[in-house]
Amino acid sequence: MPELSSRSNVSANKSEVFADVSALPGWQLWRGRRHLLDVDSITADELSALTAVAARCKRFHIRNCEPLTILARKTVANVFFENSTRTRSSFELAARKLGATIINFDPKMSSVSKGETISDTASILIQLGVDAIVQRHSASGSAHQIARELAGRVQVINAGDGWHAHPTQALLDYFTMTEVRSELKGAKITIVGDIKHSRVARSNIALLTSLGADLHIVGPPTLLPLELDKLGVKVHTSLAPALEGADFVMCLRLQTERMEQGLIPSIGEYKRLYRVDHQKLRMAAKDVRVLHPGPVNRNIEITDELANDEKHSLIAAQVHNGIAVRMAVLYFLLADEEKS
Ligand code: CP
């Protein structure tokens, strides 16, 4: 059996992308999942299997091989009620690279604009032969709702629901960090900014605390949800103690579209206190890496110089890894066979 845990030994040969993955400890657990709605119950074995498969998909993707055929009989629908660049495009690329048919459903051009409900919309897509719905919606819990109401008829992948969860973003953040440091247990990871409105923060908190990371959360008090400290994280309102000795710093977008008026005094004040730049980063670990799930409000959450600094920034890697991680997720949830 090929070495599955070592990325350096992973073959990029098309026929070997999914060879022997059923031997991975997390394989059965993934195969037992019908949907991916959040990261709350994902186990260490599942993360390990995801990492191994995503690493193989990344090699395959980098070599720009011909599409695989493992999902040739599957149809995936991207159903995005909220805007997206990274998630939607990378799910489309991931599905195509696995041989699936993908349709990009545009709610603005659909009967949703005439009042059709999300459940009725999903039912229509099922009647059209869709096997899986990748859904983004502004309502927290909407992916769970679809999965519950249409149980057994379609598989649902949550591509972001309101403030609640963004599971594939947390998985790709995890994968990207483990390319730098294989063991995140004990790593000091600091999440900075608008935690209150962030599904990315919630999914990362759930995943990283389950792994035993030393997780620190920092932001203006008005952008920190209540009872955050009960989630096993350390909470700060000033940046310095949160950055001190940090191995990874994840900046989050200020979600002005979800904010009521007056949650921060001014953008200038936010930048002075919470924008991460080279100077503030000096108190972090020497080889600290910075992340941002995007989209970035330029020069507000992180300076352009730092975002573009290849020594510290993993932002481009996050985008790139999104394809491989979503290929792995689609493969685990949808593939009928073990080999292409
Ligand atoms: N990180 C993220 O979800 O980006 P998009 O909104 O562009 O998909």
Q: What are 116-129's pLDDT values in tens digits?
A: 888 999 999 999 99
CA 38 to the chain's CA centroid: 10
Q: Are 165 and 158 in contact (CB under 8 A)?
A: yes
Q: Residue whose CA is closest, atom 5 of ligand 1?
A: 84
Q: How far is the CA of 145 from the centre of ligand 1 (A)?
A: 21
Q: Is 25 in the pocket of ligand 1 (CB under 6 A)?
A: no
Q: Is 85 in the pocket of ligand 1 (CB under 6 A)?
A: yes
CB atoms within 10 A of CB 44: 13
For residue 37, give every residue at least 6 positions away whose Cβ sits within 8 Å of its Cβ, in sequence order, or none: 143, 144, 147, 156, 158, 165, 167
Q: How far is the CA of 138 from the centre of ligand 1 (A)?
A: 13
Q: How far is the CA of 3 from the centre of ligand 1 (A)?
A: 33
Candidates 336, 332, 298, 328; CA nearest to 315 is 298
pLDDT digits (tens, 9 = 90+) for 218-274: 999 999 999 898 999 999 999 999 999 999 999 999 987 766 666 777 888 999 999
Candidates 124, 130, 142; CA nearest to 37 is 142
pTM above 0.85, yes or no: yes
Q: Residue whose CA is closest, atom 1 of ligand 1?
A: 293
Which segment of 23-27, 62-66, 98-102, 187-191 scores lowest on mean pLDDT? 62-66
Atom of ligand 1 lying closest to residue 159 CA:
3
Q: Is 220 in the pocket of ligand 1 (CB under 6 A)?
A: no
